[in-house]
Amino acid sequence: MKKKPANILVPVLFGALLCVGNIISAGARSHSSGFAAAPADTLDTIVPAVKELAASQLFAKGDSLRRAYSFEDALDAYEAAAKAASDSTERAKYEEGAMLAQNGLSMLGFCNKPVVVAREKFSLEDFFLYYPLPDRGWRPIPNVLDSVSTPLVRATWIPESETSVFYSAADADGIRNLYRTSFADSLWTAPELFGEQLTSSGNEIFPMVSPDGRNLYFASDGLYGMGGYDLYVSHWNPETRDWDTPMNMGFPYSSPYDDFLFINSPDGKYSIFASNRECGADSVYVYVLEYDSMPIRYSVDDDSDEIRSLVSLTPPADASKLDNREVVSKADDAESEQHRKYIARALDVRRLRDSIYVRGKLIDEAREKFASAAEEERKLLADNILAMEQSLISLEDSLSVAVKMLGKLEMDIIMSGQVINQDRLQEMADSDVKGADNGYAFTARRMGALPQMIVQQPVPEFDYSFMILPEGRFAEDNALPSGLVYQIQLFSSSRKATVADLKGLSPVFWRRSATLKNTYYAGLFRSYKDVLSNLNKVKKAGFKRAFIVAFNDGKLISVQEARKMEKTIVSTYRIRINVGPDGDLSDSARTVLLSIIGKDLARNEDADGVVTYVLGPFRDRAEAQSAATVLKVNGFADCNIEEVRK
């Protein structure tokens, strides 16, 4: 329960008044010395100025208290600042600070205490290269996907073997959003913005998807948090075929500082993230924690040593060395570049073998569970098993490449007359797996080259949804779609209408009548209920004589006839996947399609040899849209939704 706030505004106001009093006294002395007197209404302007000064000081105090994890006192300071402020813009800023403090106070009830393995301080310029990720996966900014680097975001994660890339990039207003693109044939699909739930008014950065594709980790300074960038996780929902509402990962992962780039290591042993808590402006700590599949949440008191100890994430074994020792992965200067490459590659091989072993165990466990599961659970389990099997194949391919590269490096060292330092290799391997007992090996990866990607440019599509805009728009295509549609007839005129005549309506269709008059219609509506709900909006926009008309396959029919016809129509949806004249889907790709969506799949080939696959039916457009999004993420980029009316 929150304590009764102290009136901290009084002493701050008193201090501000003392400053102003000194100014007034100085003015009075100047007047007695012959200078001009201040205007009579000076005091009328002093009090608001004093309150604004006090509010600004209170806000600064609130920020300081919030960063010290004294959320309750910070909340008092922010609320007092908002109370003192007279400027609405400033008041909104102070109220936002109060919200951050309240969020921090609330999250104290959901803390987790992970086992800390290691932490190291790195430069902001290259900290990401010390994550246990494949070599050359980080690409410099600017690149084809992201054109603007920031002090915090200097690289994009684009691994060579991936066919779907999740990334952050700045929009036209400079705000960073999350996007995805997938490889299809020789092109990457036009970048697709993530859903509304994963997009805020602030920035979203460093999206990283778990190896099994079920969790998306990212950082945001615009979602529910306690200030700076917080860490979030969103789970893939197989029922909605979309990412669920992201959850703040809470203490100690998130803090009032900047926390970002969270991953679980490919071998399933560690959780790793970066933060600038307790750091200067040009550096970050990278924290390594033992992976915890089922974290236990507990409550921590506000403004306590416990919360500060929790967020410091100090490894118990090496606390005295944390701030002055070199990164343990850096080889001695005497070691050759070939030896360093060999050690790094050998560790990659070991990690991949460990990951394959862990993934195999998980698959075996899932299969055992599948054998005894109820029917309704089997579909989800089957999807999970398929996803893990696909990731296992990818890991095995990566291991094969890594082993070949290790063999080549070994041969190069032998041919140059050097001896492989097996003791050094064993030392680093041991420290890598023993975690808190002997430290953790941070191995520097190499930066990848600028990606050679041909990315489709998004084609702006005309939105045929009925809208009232600041400026009306004529439809790009005046042809009516097949089937039953309703429109709102606006007016007829012997002259052609201009945009100004539309009074903000969009889309507006134009057709020439039998009497050679130009007739204008607004909207495309599939139901009488929908068109009726918009008729009054059109009349209020200035078209008082507007009325409803109906068309079937482009021919004018009476509204009464249309309403009768509407009762007999059943609409379903399907997805058409375009393969093209020179391609087709493999058996494995067809299996993936069926397992992802769980709908019937039909193959079509036209006279020109163009192959398409039709997936469906779907009961409504929303279900079809969710399925299409999943297909695009999984590499089936060229797919379109079609309505089927019966």
CA separation, residue 247 to residues 217, 233, 268, 357, 611 (Å): 10, 5, 21, 30, 42
* Domain shared by 577 and 603, yes or no: yes
Phi, psi of 501 (to 5 degrees): -70, -15
Q: pLDDT: is 184 or 632 the higher one? A: 184
Edge-to-edge strand order for the sheet containing 116-123? Answer: 116-123, 283-290, 270-275, 259-264
Q: What is the mean pLDDT of the chain?
A: 81
Range with top average pLDDT, 413-422, 501-510, 577-586: 501-510
The pLDDT assigned to 281 comes to 82
Indicate the pairing of strand 176-184 with strand 187-188: antiparallel
Same domain membership, residue 250 and residue 146: yes
Task: Specify whether 144 is located in the same domain as 28.
Answer: no
Number of structural domains found in the chain: 5
Instruction: Flag whether pLDDT at 455 surpasses 80.
Output: yes
DSSP H or E stretch at residue 195? none
Residues 41 and 86 in one domain: yes
Helix (H) or strand (E) holding 642: strand 639-645
Same domain, residue pair 120 and 224: yes
| C-alpha span between 289 and 249 (Å, rounded) | 14
Q: What is the CATH number of the domain that holds 637?
A: 3.30.70.260
Domain closes at, from 232, 257, 291:
291
The answer to the question of residue 226 being in a domain is: yes
**Whole-angstrom distance, CA of residue 325 vs CA of residue 441:** 13
Residue with tokens 């080939």: 605
What is the per-residue pLDDT for 29?
45
Mean pLDDT of 387-392: 81
> Do residues 179 and 224 both lie within one domain?
yes
Average pLDDT over residues 446-461: 82
pLDDT exceeds cutoff 50 at 431: no
Task: Mark whether 149 and 262 lie in a shared domain.
Answer: yes
Q: Are 311 and 228 spatial neighbours (Cβ–Cβ below 8 Å)?
A: no
Query: Residue 253 above 70 pLDDT?
Result: yes
Q: Could you tell me which residues are beta bridge partners of residue 215?
A: 235
Distances (CA, A) of 22 to 84, 208, 234: 22, 57, 56
pLDDT in tens, 343-370: 767 777 777 787 787 778 778 888 888 8
384/235: higher pLDDT: 235
Among 516, 541, 566, the domain-final residue is 566
Confidence of residue 623 (pLDDT cuts 50, 70, 90): confident
DSSP class of 449: P
614 and 596 share one domain: yes
pLDDT, tens digit, 9 for 90 and up, residues 262-277: 999 888 889 999 999 9
Contacts 24+ apart (CB under 8 A), 410-415: 410/342, 412/338, 413/338, 413/339, 413/342
223 versus 316: the higher-pLDDT residue is 223
User: Is the per-residue pLDDT at 326 higher than 70?
Assistant: no
Q: Which residue is listed with tokens 């998004």?
A: 458
Question: If DSSP codes are grouped into helix, strand and coil, which group holds residue 158?
Answer: coil
pLDDT tens-digit readout, 188-224: 988 988 877 888 888 999 999 998 889 999 999 989 9
254: in domain? yes
The residue type at 417 = G
Q: Which residue has the higher pLDDT, 305 or 643?
A: 305
* CA quadruple 462, 463, 467, 470: dihedral sign: negative
The answer to whether residue 308 sits within a structural domain is no
* Inside any domain, residue 332: no
Q: Which of 42-51, 538-547, 562-571, 632-641 has the highest mean pLDDT?
A: 538-547
Q: Distance between CA atoms of 598 and 477, rounded to whole angstroms?
A: 35
| The token pair that represents 179 in the structure block | 């996007």
Residues 6+ apart with CB under 8 A from 440: 117, 118, 270, 288, 328, 431, 432
The percent of residues above 90 in pLDDT, for the chain, comes to 37
Q: Does residue 612 share a domain with residue 554?
A: no
* Residue 527 sits in the same domain as residue 626: no
pLDDT given for residue 8 in this prediction = 62
**Per-residue confidence (pLDDT) for residue 321, from 0 to 100:** 38
| Parallel, antiparallel or unpaired: strands 204-209 and 215-220 | antiparallel
| 285, 278 Cβ separation under 8 angstroms | yes
Do 538 and 586 reside in the same domain of the chain? no
| Residues counted in the chain | 646
Query: 136 lies in which domain range?
Result: 116-291
Higher pLDDT, 384 or 317: 384
In a domain, 484, yes or no: yes
The encoded tokens of residue 70 equal: 């004294």
Question: Can you tell me the mean pLDDT for 44-72?
Answer: 85
User: What is the average per-residue pLDDT within 570-595?
Assistant: 71
Q: Do 101 and 184 belong to one domain? A: no
Flag whether pLDDT at 30 surpasses 70: no
**What is the Cα–Cα distance from 253 to 265, expressed in whole angstroms?**
16
Q: Which of the listed ranges 250-259, 334-343, 344-353, 560-569 does the model predict with the highest average pLDDT?
A: 250-259
Q: How far apart are CA 116 and CA 442, in angstroms?
A: 15
Q: What is the mean pLDDT of residues 563-584?
A: 78
Per-residue confidence (pLDDT) for residue 325, from 0 to 100: 33
Within-domain flag for 369: yes
Instruction: Characterize 248-270 residue by residue with b for buried, 16 or more Cβ atoms within 10 angstroms of its Cβ, and e for exposed.
Output: bbbbbbbbbbbbbbbbbbbbbbb
The pLDDT of residue 329 is 38
Among 505, 531, 566, identify where a domain stops.
566
Is residue 511 situated within a structural domain?
yes
* C-alpha–C-alpha distance, residues 82 and 58, integer Å: 9
Residues 168 and 191 sit within 8 Å (Cβ to Cβ) = no
Residues 6+ apart with CB under 8 A from 526: 483, 484, 485, 486, 571
Between residues 18 and 490, the one the model is more confident about = 490
Residue at 602 is within a domain = yes
Residue 438 has pLDDT above 60, yes or no: no
